[in-house]
Amino acid sequence: MKDTDIKRLLYTHLLCIFSIILSVFIPSLFLENFSILETHLTWLCICSGFVTAVNLVLYLAVKPNTSSKRSSLSHKVTRFLKCCIYFLMSCFSFHVIFVLYGAPLIELALETFLFAVILSTFTTVPCLCLLGPNLKAWLRVFSRNGVSSIWENSLQMTTISSFVGAWLGALPIPLDWERPWQMTVERKCSICRSLHVPRMGLGPVIR
Amino acid sequence: MQKASVLLFLAWVCFVFYAGIALFTSGFLLTRLELTNYSSCQEPPGPGSLPWGSQGKPGACWMASRFSRVVLVLVDALRFDFAQPQHSHVPGEPPVSLPFLGKLSSLQRILEIQPHHARLYRSQVDPPTTTMQRLKALTTGSLPTFIDAGSNFASHAIVEDNLIKQLTSAGRRVVFMGDDTWKDLFPGAFSKAFFFPSFNVRDLDTVDNGILEQLYPTMDSGEWDVLIAHFLGVDHCGHKHGPHHPEMAKKLSQMDQVIQGLVERLENDTLLVVAGDHGMTTNGDHGGDSELEVSAALFLYSPTALFPSTPPEVSRFLRTYSAATQDLQAKELHQLQNLFSKASADYQWLLQSPNGAEATLPTVIAELQQFLRGARAMCIESWARFSLVRMAGGAALLVAACFICLLASQWAISPDFPFRPLLLIPVAWGLVGTIAYAGLLGIIELKLDLVLLGAVAAVSSFLPFLWKAWAGWGSKRPLATLFPIPGPVLLLLLFRLAVFFSDSFVVAEARATPFLLGSFILLLVVQLHWEGQLLPPKLLTMPRLGTSATTNPPRHSGAYALRLGIGLLLCTRLAGLFHRCPEETPACHSSPWLSPLASMVGGRAKNLWYGACVAALLALLAAVRLWLCHYGNLKSPEPPMLFVRWGLPLMALGTAAYWALASGADEAPPRLRALVSGASMVLPRAVAGLAASGLALLLWKPVTVLVKAGAGAPRTRTVLTPFSGPPTSQADLDYVVPQIYRHMQEEFRGRLERTKSQGPLTVAAYQLGSVYSAAMVTALTLLAFPLLLLHAERISLVFLLLFLQSFLLLHLLAAGIPITTPGPFTVPWRAVSAWALMATQTFYSTGHQPVFPAIHWHAAFVGFPEGHGSCTWLPALLVGANTFASHLLFAVGCPLLLLWPFLCESQGLRKRQQPPGNEAEARVRPEEEEEPLMEMRLRDAPHHFYAALLQLGLKYLFILGVQILACALAASILRRHLMVWKVFAPKFIFEAVGFIVSSVGLLLGIALVMRVDGAVSSWFRQLFLAQQR
């Protein structure tokens, strides 16, 4: 049971990483002048879209938690709507936290918001998929001794490492290298991603 | 006795730190050696005769003089673009009209009409761009040095070869008028001089009007050869209002008239030089080396044509040459010498064959210029010659002091900590070492160096401590327990320390510190959640996991900590709005709110801001009173609380009135001006005096409790109300029967006691639980008011935020600290680091930066609008108090970290006591209820209390000490860095002074707690005595 779980976990993470890599290359086939550095905002949208889609597909395919008893259509719809609302809420609250952290209030608002969106896709979307719109379960997972399955453990690790990665991404901002790619948001995201990816790979291996 | 030993131990650790800092500084900040040789006319600058053989002519030296007289008009802070001619006919661009542009129109006219008679140059000046350094550089031709920047207000005479000296020795009559800095630099050098005080930067006109009174009469009298006039109005206007103020236009127009008048009076043999000694930033300050500060204007004019035939290269060539020879005597660098000998060979060849001169001239000039540049670079480097041994020694001492802190802070809470031997033995050894060293020096007859003496004392006291510690404690336990700092805190601390090693991070520290603080706060909240202290345990217990981590139930609801965290983040962000930019970042704009209200132009906005500032003041006052009221200390009849009730509003009133006067002083009608200036002198002094008297009262009677003696007896009697006649209803019975019962009970008790002894005195003392923190908070408020007065008006909002922020942080930290009775009490590392981090953040948010031009000099004039005369320590004290206000406040408030969890104990209990249902029950037995002990828990275990205070002090000193150590290491490792004098050295100096202020504040804070403790003890003793009688 555990071995199969670990295998599935590994495959899902590999798929996630693959989707991020794809999001770099696929849009250049359809869009003109696409590159990560220059049109980073577009790329951010596409990347977050890809990751969300992969997460949803995985959730439907693997179904790690089979606890939902009622399965009427209306229940599913309300659940889905609730998920959407949670996602939006998390985007906005992240935005607020970034502004409190020192992001400018008015200028670069779009960048800040997109950063909030991508951080939400890396953290909130997996939580929603795995735990559903159940805030108490979330709080339980993110506390000591609150993890009850390997899936939750992986969720805990990836989410925390995403936050740490985003935090580390802010560190090079004061360096005056004056490179064009050294945009605040851009930098944060790339490091967030680069840290996210290895941890996602490591998660199952450590177990 | 133990109290004194705690304080002395901390003082000894501070001394070790100070010795390390002093040793490092003496090796790091070396002054330039001033040479005292003078050049003279008899020694020509180079071999061979000069091309314009002019030795024989009268009045000539190395060269024939072209002008017999010079008028030098030095306009302080005349930036190049102030004097730049305005060409308004640029197509496509709207004409810019800034107050400082195009006001010197006479320069423009002269340049257009007489192009051969006048030149305007942009002169690049050497930093530091403070007036005295610039004057030294202008008159000696050398480089101003960094260390001189500090002695700006106690300047010393120039002993090097200089222009004024040469002029007087050549028999010229030098007449000076203006800035009295010249008097200190060249004492007795002028044939006639009119000095005016320069220190009062708020005074725009005194110096200039004084000069104008003397200038034209002196000029017409003709008793001069060199006339120097140093105008200060432009510089003062920049300091007071900034260059964008209409006042600047007025000042520049006045300068324009001066130049116009001089030009009309000039004779044919006279040269007019109009020069700025430095520029100014967009804020109007100077001292650094930004482009705006180092570009000054230089204007030359003469009624005879300046550049008729001789090519300007020749004059430049000669100037270069003479300058070069003078430099060569001092410095020998092989490469430069080669270069110079080649150049001089070329020059000789040039002199011998005048026909090929035109061709070789440019190469010779290029070579000499290259030589000059090399010499300059070499001088810059060599005048900062470090003493590596002292630097290493200082750093080693700092490491040792940090080690002591770490070791002792771990050891202090263990019961076998030997207080007295640990203190006495090092001090004794230190004294022995000092005497031995002094004796040794006396024997071999060397000069006594105080810095080295301190270092020897520190080392000789440190070694026995180490030995004793090893014998007593270290050998028993593994070394790993020495490093108890938990992981995340250590990581953040490391980040903070690594920041000091990169110049971009030091420059960006003002933004990085709030970021780190925010991370720390969120980390605290998350950690609380992670430890399971925020959620009820039923949520956390899973069927699979039988063992729950939470042993004690959460003391607060989950949203409570989250609210605190968000509030803290919000406060940090708001305080970040008051941000001052370092000059190095061009894209950054300083907050406009940092300037004083007097520099605002709009009347309505000014009034609104003034209202906001007064509101902040009142809010601060109300918050403190509410806090004291909440814990009940305000009810106490003791003098400090009376002072809080009446004196604090008086202080707030004085502050508000002073602000009103200061912000509107220029608009006052002339007949009230004397009154206004008198009031602006008296009011700040009155506020400071009130604060001092309040602190004295607090020290005199620090116990703020309300005592109700004999409260037991009369209480029951008041219940008895007359009731006559038989009871008629059930209600009457309900009323009467308990009263009868109580009365009987009272009677019996009274009879029993009367038989035993005399009537006992039941004493109810309230607010003992918060007696320590009440004294601390009162002291902090009393300290904050005078400091507030030293800042610009709008910083009062930051002070309000500061109090709010520390209040929230204390609550957040207290939520995570369990109360361990009966001890040992500890303050966790995360609390101390967060506190230190917040002190740094407040330093930046009160508009400071660790660079010299950012110092708020105007603080020196609060209460002294006329300046200080010759006294230098008082303005230094005022400016220092302004700069290190946050260090002082947070260091004094440090013991609150220990006290606050005990205060919060009552809050938690009270919350649980008052669910709406049993409120009535609570009212029935309010006094019999077990009151929370709160801070009396500390008094119950005095040994643990003192140990905890010692540990807290050591931990705080460790955090600060590690910072200064990192700064020192950064400065020594990067001592050849491009930015060492611009970034690292000022940072080190600011950190060092901040450390000293913080450590003194810490000692004061702990001493205050000790004083309160002593007073509480004596109060108890008196109580017992009274009871026994």
Question: What's the gap between Cα A55 and its chain centre?
Answer: 9
Q: What phi and psi values does residue A103 have, to the nearest 5 degrees? A: -70, 145
Scan for tokens 């002792």, then name that residue: B408
Residue type for B884, please?
Answer: F
Q: Rounded distance, CA B291 to CA B121, Å?
A: 15
Q: Is residue A8 part of a domain?
A: yes
- B859 neighbors B881 (Cβ within 8 angstroms): yes
Q: What are phi and psi of B47, to 5 degrees?
A: -70, 150
Residue B967 has pLDDT above 90, yes or no: yes
Q: Which residues contact B137 (CB under 8 A, 6 or more apart)?
A: B125, B126, B143, B144
Which tens digits make up the pLDDT trace of B185-232?
888 888 888 888 766 666 788 888 888 888 888 888 888 888 899 988
Question: Among residues B724, B884, B711, B873, which one has the least CA distance to residue B790?
Answer: B884
C-alpha to C-alpha distance for B964 and B864, rounded to whole angstroms: 34
pLDDT higher than 80, residue B577: yes
d(CA B654, CA B685): 10
The kind and range of the H/E element at A97 are: helix A73-101
Rounded alpha-carbon distances, angstroms, from residue B364 to B62, B328, B332: 20, 17, 21
Given a cut of 50, whether residue B927 has pLDDT beyond it is no
Under an 8 A CB cutoff, do A167 and B540 touch?
no
The count of other CB atoms within 10 Å of the CB of residue B334 is: 7
- Which runs of consecutive H residues, i.e. helices, occur in B500-549? 503-507, 509-530, 537-540
Cβ–Cβ contacts within 10 Å for residue B518, how many?
Answer: 22
Distance from CA of A163 to the nearest CA of B (A): 11
pLDDT of residue B324: 46
Note the pLDDT of residue B829. Answer: 87
Taking residues A192-207, report their average pLDDT: 43
* Average pLDDT, integer, range B490-519: 86
Nearest beta carbon to residue A144 from set B502, B512, B532? B532
Question: With 70 as the cut, is the pLDDT of residue B681 above it?
Answer: yes
Q: What is the pLDDT of residue B268?
A: 80
Q: For A174, which of B508, B547, B569 is closest by C-beta distance? A: B508
Task: Provide mean pLDDT across the span B114-122.
Answer: 82
Cβ proximity of B895 and B7 under 8 Å: no
Judged by a CB distance cut-off of 8 A, whether residue B504 touches chain A is: yes
pLDDT for the residue numbered B326: 43
Per-residue pLDDT reduced to its tens digit, B593-621 = 887 777 777 778 888 888 999 999 999 99
Contacts 24+ apart (CB under 8 A), A134-137: A136/B539
Q: Which residues contact B458 (CB under 8 A, 6 or more apart)?
A: B15, B16, B19, B20, B397, B400, B401, B430
Task: Quote the pLDDT of residue B1003.
Answer: 95
B591 touches chain A (CB under 8 A): no
Amino acid B921: pLDDT: 38
| DSSP character string of B14-33 | HHHHHHHHHHHHHHHSPPPP
Looking at residue B311, its pLDDT comes to 39
The confidence score (pLDDT) of residue B718 equals 42
Residues of A in contact with B573 (CB under 8 A): 99-102
Question: Which ipTM score applies to this complex?
Answer: 0.84
> Residue-wise over B906-922: b if at least 16 C-beta within 10 A, else e?
bbebeeeeeeeeeeeee
For residue A142, the chain B residues in CB contact (below 8 A) are 529-530
Flag if A101 and B515 touch (Cβ within 8 Å): yes
Write out the two tokens for B493: 């601390």
Q: Which helix (H) or strand (E) holds B273?
A: strand B270-276
| pLDDT of res. B20 | 93
Give the residue from B535, B551, B557, B982 with the most A CB atoms within 10 Å of its CB, the best one to mutate: B535
Say if residues B999 and B957 touch (Cβ distance below 8 Å). yes
A176-180, B403-407, B646-650: least confidently modelled range: A176-180
Distance CA B695, CA B716 (A): 40
The separation between CA A65 and the C-alpha centre of its own chain, rounded to angstroms, equals 19
Q: Kindly report, residue by residue over A18-76, the tens digit of the pLDDT.
A: 887 787 777 777 777 776 666 677 777 887 888 888 888 877 777 655 555 556 788 88
Give SS3 for A94. Answer: helix
| Number of neighbours of residue B666 by Cβ within 10 angstroms | 12
Contact A140 B542 (CB under 8 A): yes
Among A123-132, B297-306, B420-429, B618-627, the least confident range: B420-429
Instruction: Mark yes or no for CB contact A148/B545 under 8 Å.
Output: yes
Chain A positions in Cβ-Cβ contact with residue B544 (cut-off 8 Å): 148
Residues 327-386, chain B, touching A (beta carbon < 8 A): none
Q: Which helix (H) or strand (E) holds B806?
A: helix B795-816
- Say whether residue B577 is in contact with chain A using an 8 A CB cutoff: no
Tell me the pLDDT tens digit for each residue of A150-181.
Answer: 778 888 888 888 888 888 777 777 665 444 44
What's residue B862's pLDDT? 83
Say whether pLDDT at B422 is over 80: no
Per the CB < 8 A criterion, the answer to whether A93 and B569 are in contact is no
Distance from CA of B803 to the nearest CA of A (A): 19
3-state SS class at B65 = coil
Q: How many structural domains are present in chain A?
A: 1
For residue B773, pLDDT beyond 70: yes
pLDDT score, position B622: 92
Q: How far is A84 from chain B (nearest CA, A)?
A: 24
Looking at per-residue confidence, does B827 or B377 come out higher?
Answer: B827
What Cα–Cα distance (Å) separates residue B586 from each residue in A106, B507, B590, B1010? 20, 12, 10, 49
Structure confidence by residue, pLDDT tens digits, B535-564: 555 444 443 333 333 344 445 556 788 888
Higher pLDDT pick, A108 / B88: A108
pLDDT of residue B931: 55
10 Å CB burial of residue B925 (0-12, 13-18, 19+) is exposed
The C-alpha atoms of residue B59 and residue B67 are separated, in whole angstroms, by: 11
* Averaged pLDDT, B942-950: 86
- Domain annotation covers residue A131: yes
All residues of chain A having their beta carbon less than 8 Å from the beta carbon of residue B569 are 97, 100-101
Nearest CA in chain B to A167: B519
Nearest CA in chain A to B541: A146
Dist. CA A150–CA A62, nearest whole Å: 14
What's the distance, CA A167 to chain centroid? 14
Mean pLDDT score, B573-594: 77
pLDDT digit string (tens) for B128-166? 677 777 888 888 777 766 554 434 433 456 777 788 888
Closest CA in chain A for residue B535: A139
pLDDT, residue B961, reads: 94
Stretch among A199-203, B483-487, B517-521 having the lowest mean pLDDT: A199-203
Interface test with B, best of A94, A123, A135, A144 (most B CBs within 10 A): A144
List the alpha helices (DSSP H) in B118-191.
131-140, 163-169, 181-185
Contact B529 A143 (CB under 8 A): yes
Among chain A residues, CA nearest to B538:
A140
pLDDT at B32: 59
What are the C-alpha distances in Å from B119 to residues B123, B145, B297? 12, 30, 11
Please indicate whether residue B261 or residue B350 has the higher confidence score (pLDDT): B261
If you ran DSSP here, which 8-state letter would residue B237 be given? H
pLDDT digits (tens, 9 = 90+) for B987-999: 999 999 999 999 9
Q: Cα–Cα distance between B799 and B42 in angstroms, integer?
A: 65
Stretch B115-122: mean pLDDT: 82
- The pTM (predicted TM-score) of the whole model is 0.74
Closest residue, chain B, to A140 (C-alpha)? B540
- Å from B540 to nearest chain A CA? 6
Spatial distance between the Cα atoms of B27 and B391, rounded to a whole number of angstroms: 5
- Tokens representing residue B53 in the block: 């053989």
What angle (nearest 5°) sits at the alpha carbon of residue B421, between those of residues B420 and B423? 65
Distances (CA, A) of A48 to A53, B543, B569, B807: 9, 36, 28, 40
* Average pLDDT of chain A to the nearest whole number: 74
Please give, rounded to a whole number of angstroms, the shortest distance from the CA of B508 to a CA of chain A. 6
Query: Binning pLDDT at 50, 70 and 90, where does residue B484 land?
Result: low
Bridge partners, B79 (sequence order) = B296
CB contact under 8 A, B514 and A102: yes
Whether residue A205 is contained in a domain is answered as no
Q: Which of A140, A145, A174 sits opposite B539 (nearest CB)?
A: A140
- pLDDT (0 to 100) of residue B546: 36
Q: How far apart are CA B142 and CA B160, in angstroms?
A: 9
CA separation for the pair B496, B970 (Å, rounded): 13
Q: Report pLDDT for B327.
A: 39
User: d(Cα A55, Cα A63) in Å, to the nearest integer?
Assistant: 11
Domain that holds residue A106: 1-64+74-191
Of chain B, the end-to-end C-alpha distance in Å amounts to 29
Instruction: Provide the β-strand partners of residue B71.
Output: B227, B272
Q: State both tokens at B58.
A: 């009268």
Name which of A145, A146, A174 is nearest B505 (Cβ-Cβ).
Answer: A174
Most confident of A147-156, A187-196, B313-322, B323-332: A147-156
Q: What gap in Å lies between CA B1029 and CA B760, rounded to an integer?
A: 10
Helix segments in B531-647, DSSP class H: 537-540, 558-576, 603-630, 639-642
Token output for B321: 């040459």
Q: How far apart are CA B770 and CA B926, in angstroms?
A: 19
Task: From B660, B795, B673, B866, select the one nearest B201 (Cα to Cα).
Answer: B866
Closest alpha carbon to B78 in B294, B299, B278, B291: B278
The residue-averaged pLDDT of B498-521 equals 86
Mutation test of the interface with chain B: which of A100, A108, A188, choosing the one with the most B Cβ atoms within 10 A?
Answer: A100
Give the residue numbers in A contacting B (CB under 8 Å), as ranges.
Answer: 97, 99-102, 136, 139-140, 142-146, 148, 167, 170-171, 173-176
Give chain B's mean pLDDT.
77
Q: Identify residue A150 by its one-letter amino acid code.
A: I
What count of residues does chain A have? 207
How would you label A30-55 residue by residue, b for 16+ Cβ within 10 Å and e otherwise?
eeeebebeebbebbbbbbbebbbebb
Residue A198 lies in a domain: no
Q: Is B639 exposed, middle or buried (0-12, 13-18, 19+ CB in 10 A)?
A: middle
* Per-residue confidence band for B815, with pLDDT thresholds at 50, 70 and 90: confident
User: What local confidence, expressed as pLDDT, does residue B153 receive?
Assistant: 38
